[in-house]
Amino acid sequence: MSKANPAFVAIAALTAAGALVVPTVSQANELNSVSISYADLNLASETGATVLQRRINVAARVVCGYEESKQFDVAVATKVCRTGAVEAARPAYEEAVAAARHGTVTVGAAASLIVTASGE
């Protein structure tokens, strides 16, 4: 039995995480926030918490842009936006993980958080 290529597995995981972020790529330039569901995750586990963190990072790319510009000022602004978006989502992430680890149940639409582009 052959082992899966780790790079392929990582790309597949990122693609799956991206599919759970609400907007499409064509909508990314028009949006400054997205909702991320974690209803399908067990946040009491390290794996579930890590998957949610990856979804937050993907959402930050969506709200701040996928473009990797060669122009220094654009690249810096994009990085600042992404970092700010992730940091702004951190309290909601930590609250959700803490609630899951203390046995609090969140059901339905309430099991989501918002990632917003900073500075918009």
pTM of the model: 0.68
1 found inside a domain: no
User: How many domains does the chain divide into?
Assistant: 1
Tokens read off for 113: 């958080």
Select from 20, 45, 46 the least CA-distant residue to 34. 20
Q: Specify if 105 maps to a domain.
A: yes
pLDDT tens-place string over residues 59-94: 999 999 866 777 888 888 889 999 999 999 999 999
Residue 21, pLDDT score? 46
pLDDT of residue 119: 60
> What per-residue confidence (pLDDT) applies to 108?
53
Range of the domain at 76: 6-116
Tens digit of each residue's pLDDT (9 = 90 or more) over 18-51: 444 444 343 444 558 999 999 899 999 999 999 9
Q: Decide if 108 contacts 27 (C-beta within 8 A).
A: no
